[in-house]
Structure 1
Amino acid sequence: MDPESRTNGTAVTEFILLGLVETPELGPVVFVVFLFAYLVTVGGNLSILAAILVEPKLHTPMYFFLGNLSVLDVGCITVTVPSMLARLLSHKHTIPYGACLTQLFFFHQLAGVDCFLLTVMAYDRFLAICRPLTYRARMNQAVQRILVAVSWALAFTNALTHTVAIATLNFCGPSVINHFYCDLPQLFQLSCSSTQLNELLLFGLGILMAGAPVILIVTSYIHVVAAVLRIRSAEGRKKAFSTCGSHLTVVGIFYGTGVFSYMRLGSVEASDKDKGIGILNTVISPMLNPLIYSLRNPDVQGALRQVFTGKRALV
């Protein structure tokens, strides 16, 4: 490493994000597609949020958490896509060092809350189905707010830890990131100082942020499935499995992409697969969540009709 870089710290003042395509002719197509995806995602999630606010039947813990999830989805796609669209319009692919770390922080903050919120939603389903008599007492409004606040606090600690750890690394070139947003694996590849501690930190916190929640989610749903199978009413079983199935679909997409992105220590080669996973994690998943949760949910569908038509659905 250059001695001057060693003494002055970070020599690179900006990074070059290659984006999704390197062919300029495809830029307008990518812009239109991702602008459409962004508008659909924001519109869909805000519609779900509006439906939850206007429909009294949806003023329950499950929909309180779903509303928070919608806010996170809007935040997650807003952290990554608008800046990418701005670079496509300006034909400028650079991002300042500080802006890159800021994007990294907010992305991991929102994704971290997502981790814990999905776990809280699984716990909510466990209490509702397996402990129905004490459900209201155990999941009152104070408990709901505490669970959300703790999720934000834990995610903030994780995001700040990674951001500070990245800030201690030296970047003295090259400065080209083969991605459309700043993230840990790609920055590790560009550092001209050792990233071993950062990778171990990513692995260790990943176990806490993903491993522990997955274990809790799986444990909750083992109890839920056992309880649902004891329901005598076929309609009751169908409704319970429908609600849980939507949540498990979101969990599978979210954690599947997360594991592929961050649990590959020792893999230093950037590839287009990383971009594909990034699209799935930051664009496709937030865009699909409103559809997944409303597709087979008559209560949400009725509330959405009320939002868009102004007429209350007939009960």
Structure 2
Amino acid sequence: MDSLTWRPLTIEDAKPAADLLNAIETVDKIGEHYTEADTLQELIDPYADLERASLAAFDGDVLVGYMKVRHKPSAEVVHRVFVDGGVHPGYRRRGIGTMLLEAGMAAAKVVHALHHPTRKLVIDVHKAEHIAGVPELVRSQGFAPVRYFQRMERPLGDALTAIPSGLEPWSARNDEEFRLVRNEAYQDCWGAAQMPADHWRNKITNQTFQPELSFLARDTDGTPAGVLVTMSWEEDTAATGIRDAHFMVIGTRREHRNRGIAGALIRRALAAAAAQGYDRASLNVDSANASGGFGLFEKAGFTPTQRYVRWALES
């Protein structure tokens, strides 16, 4: 521990951060591979305050552990602050993870006091269920599991029938409608918050966004009713040989639900992905989704492959 250098993350750490996350992947095997551009996108997140709410541990020039906090742009009753981080496999079991988590908990209180001091603070950690040591670490700090999320996948080798037409692909012209429909559709989703334009640009329409696989559904009067947004990571393809179309956003405005809109968006995106040579489609769903998302995705041919746990600490 004494040989390590501790300091906040900066945007110049994109390359060492990618190296660290790829080293973590070799052991934890959650299916995430990073380029420098990917980690830079996370470091320039407008809701990640690196100076006040991040910490990195370096052994010489090698990043061996990090944590960063992301606050919510808006909060009505509860402000859920995310603490993310990881430790290089060769440096685990030395207390680094504990130091980083404790620093993250303290930083969460700092950004909460700056942005939503009148709201209730809840600190969240989101990790794949199978990662060794995570349950013991977070439980030792008082966290408890509050929600489970399921990754689901579907191969694209089989023929797709009854492909719906009339759905509108993403364009610069309708980008704002995509964002607004997403915000309306996610209003009653557990833990979700409104996504301002700067957050949308950072998290959605970045270098991993696939506009040709992203679609907008309109009502008969032209009103935007539902959206599906697809993303894909080149480094995952390079590492696995599998080209994955990840459906990052699937949402229908409340007044347009139970009309088959989400199912039509999924079928259209699956067909487009298959036509463009993708090998697989994937998505994540809240296991307790009240709108029936899990059943909808099973009907579309998706099967569960990996579960994530949302750990929470009420402060």
Say which one has the larger Rg.
1
Structure with a larger share of its residues in helix = 1
TM normalised by structure 2 equals 0.23
Q: TM-score, normalised by structure 1?
A: 0.23
Q: Could you say which structure has the greater relative contact order, defined with CA pairs below 8 angstroms and 6 or more residues apart?
A: 1
